[in-house]
Homo-oligomer: A and B are copies of this chain.
């Protein structure tokens, strides 16, 4: 990137007077120029959330000393901090099974320069999409999974992800339940796309459930994966109108457009550090 690097700070702490003044004082004292500042106060929890992005062009601190210099501020206000730099692109692993729509959509965005990440690898429990991966020149790892080998295959996956320094896992229509070990290794960093408007139609075959109930709208939900199936913090949702004319197969086909755009949008927010998780919900600083 030829444009100067930026730093992003995500803050979560108890609400009290003077927080914004104190944090912006730190930036100002070191000649940072704020590009974006968003804050949110949850009055029922007395909780304060902030996202602050500033230019490092004239900043007087080195990147690797910012975190430690923020410590007094953090201690003073009992803050949980996350610090990111735009130049350090997230390394994203795509997990797929057989359906290609989310995979192609993300790869096309990446190729067009619309998704600021690195994609070092694709993981799959079937070999179906290997040609798709190869077309885009991305290493493809096939982990066939059965009841018997599931635990050891997931252990091998985690090892591979660690080796490749992956920090975000995207389940791009990956038809396997993620084990607690994987979830623990990537807390709030595994993004799933569920093909319903959660919490409606949790679990398997949501389009079949939707058709059976006779809903007039279908949806898709992208959420972080937690130990409770389809119960993790929701990042993004969108919906589409359907009618009695639409068969289950129509819902499946139509829903793919929702799935790919909802997942891509959630991932966009995630990789730009616009998402903060608390109490199984998200604050999305749009």
Contacts and interface: CB of A to CB of B under 8 A. Distances in A.
A155 interface: no
What 5 A-B pairs come out closest when comparing CB atoms?
A214-B281, A104-B108, A21-B24, A200-B200, A135-B135
Interface of A: 17-18, 20-21, 24-25, 27-28, 31-44, 99-101, 104-105, 107-109, 111-112, 114, 135-136, 197-201, 213-217, 219, 233-239, 241, 243-245, 247, 253, 256-257, 261, 264, 280-284, 286
What is the interface of chain A mostly: helix, strand, loop, or mixed? mixed
A284 B214 CA distance: 11
A248 B244 CA distance: 26
B33 A17 contact: yes
A24 B28 contact: no
Contacts of A31: 17
A122 to B, nearest CB: 15
Contacts of A247: 43-44
A234 B219 contact: no
Given A24-B24, A34-B41, A44-B247, 12 more contacts: A18-B28, A20-B37, A104-B105, A197-B200, A197-B217, A198-B200, A199-B200, A213-B234, A214-B234, A214-B281, A216-B235, A241-B241
A216 B236 contact: yes
Contacts of A99: 112
Nearest to A137: B135
A286 B245 contact: yes
B257 A237 contact: no
Contacts of A219: 197, 217
Copies of this chain per assembly = 4
Contact of A36 (B25, B41, B108, B215): B41
Nearest to A213: B199
A232 to B, nearest CB: 10
Nearest to A209: B199
B284 A244 contact: yes
Given A104-B108, A214-B281, A217-B219, A40 B244 contact: yes
Contacts of A238: 217
A108 B101 contact: yes
A217 B239 contact: yes
A237 B261 contact: no
Nearest to A31: B17
A282 B214 contact: yes
A135 B111 CA distance: 13
